[in-house]
């Protein structure tokens, strides 16, 4: 690409040479995520991966795609860009693991108003960290410079991941039974959902984000920008130890009311006891300042529970031990009962 440059394109707002510098900066970061199966490196027209299908009777590819959403507005205001990439990966791989699949690789799409190589490097460093936490490889992506479409200091970030599972071992809720218990895994905070409501409720601006909040132990901005927790390795630990996970729900936008029913078997309802898990202080602040009813809070945010798992009652003790050793905060938050509501919060 030594001969690739265009003064006319640069005058229109697109600097292709800045793009090449950005690639040079991120290439070693990307290669640090490579796992067995990755073929080639950055620079081709497609990311290549050769999966190991050993021991799989009927391999199934499981894919997920998502973006970071309006949480990015906070990153712009704080000029902090090295964590939103973790959110982007988390929103995809946490969905994939709900099927019992193991994420293999990830690709990102970054659209910017102006290509600033240092900023691109910071953003991708977050994507890389997310991939490391999930144990998957970053095998490609796209950075699009779009002057006139995005302001110079703004961007959008999205991506997708592909995982692998054996069809006979996939988690679809079909084995769920009345009496199974529900385990909730603690979230790191708001994660990456509901930020349109967060921004409206709190009246977000630079001064607001810089406020130090005693009950949070940090500034409001630092709390809200905490990246989404990635639960892939914790779930893999459960499956590796032979725990019979019936079903999993990733608690994203729509909160517990919307997401838990997605894992439930027909005729069964998840009865969740809200006093059984701690609600992080940030949610109380959002509810109070925004005058948001409790019902709406649980129908928008994770409220402290990022993942819900249905486990046979007799295996819950061992499951909690495995999860705690994996570094998770695990709470018994309810049980599976007969009903058609999908979820009941009591």
Q: Could you give phi then psi for residue 302, rounded to 5 degrees?
A: -75, -20
User: Residue-wise pLDDT tens for the chain (346 aa)?
Assistant: 666 666 765 665 666 676 667 777 878 888 888 999 999 887 778 889 999 999 999 999 999 999 999 999 999 999 999 999 999 999 999 999 999 999 999 999 999 999 998 999 999 999 999 999 999 999 999 999 999 999 999 999 999 999 999 999 999 999 999 999 999 999 999 999 999 999 999 999 999 999 999 999 999 999 999 999 999 999 999 999 999 999 999 999 999 999 999 999 999 999 999 999 999 999 999 999 999 999 999 999 999 999 999 999 999 999 999 999 999 999 999 999 999 989 999 9
312 vs 329: CA distance, rounded Å: 19
- Give the chain's length: 346
Strands 137-145 and 212-213: unpaired
pTM beyond cutoff 0.85: yes
pLDDT for residue 23: 75
pLDDT for residue 44: 72
Query: Tokens 């991708």, residue?
Result: 124
Q: What is the dihedral of CA 312, 314, 318, 321, to 10 degrees?
A: 80
pLDDT for residue 40: 84
pLDDT for residue 5: 64
pLDDT for residue 3: 67
pLDDT for residue 41: 82
């Amino acid at each position: 690409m030594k001969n690739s440059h265009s003064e006319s394109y640069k005058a229109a707002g697109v600097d292709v040479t800045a793009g090449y510098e950005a690639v040079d900066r991120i290439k070693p970061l990307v290669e640090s995520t490579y796992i067995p199966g990755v073929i080639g490196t950055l620079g081709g027209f497609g990311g290549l991966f050769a999966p190991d299908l050993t021991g799989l009777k009927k391999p199934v590819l499981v894919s997920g795609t998502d973006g970071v959403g309006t949480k990015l507005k906070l990153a712009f205001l704080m000029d902090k860009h090295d964590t939103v990439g973790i959110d982007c990966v988390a929103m995809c791989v946490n969905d994939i693991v709900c099927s019992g699949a193991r994420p293999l690789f990830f690709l990102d799409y970054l659209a910017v108003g102006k290509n600033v190589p240092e900023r691109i490097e910071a953003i991708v460093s977050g994507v890389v960290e997310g991939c490391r936490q999930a144990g998957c490889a970053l095998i490609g992506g796209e950075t699009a410079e779009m002057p006139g479409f995005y302001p110079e200091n703004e961007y959008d970030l999205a991506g997708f991941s592909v995982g692998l599972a054996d069809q006979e071992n996939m988690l679809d809720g079909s084995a769920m039974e009345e009496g199974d218990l529900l385990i909730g895994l603690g979230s790191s905070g708001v994660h990456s959902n509901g930020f349109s409501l967060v921004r409206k409720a709190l009246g977000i601006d630079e001064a607001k984000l810089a406020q130090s909040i005693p009950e949070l132990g940090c500034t409001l901005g630092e709390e809200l920008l905490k990246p989404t927790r990635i639960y892939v390795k914790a779930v893999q630990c459960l499956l590796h130890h032979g725990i019979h996970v019936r079903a999993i729900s990733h608690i994203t936008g729509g909160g517990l009311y919307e997401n838990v029913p997605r894992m439930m078997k027909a005729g069964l309802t998840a009865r969740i006891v809200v006093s059984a898990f701690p609600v992080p202080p940030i949610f109380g602040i959002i509810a109070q300042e925004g005058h948001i009813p409790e019902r709406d809070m649980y129908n928008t945010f994770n409220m402290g529970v990022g993942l819900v798992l249905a486990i046979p009652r007799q295996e819950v003790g061992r499951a909690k031990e495995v999860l705690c050793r994996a570094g998770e905060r695990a709470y018994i938050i309810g049980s599976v009962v007969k009903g058609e509501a999908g979820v009941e919060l009591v």
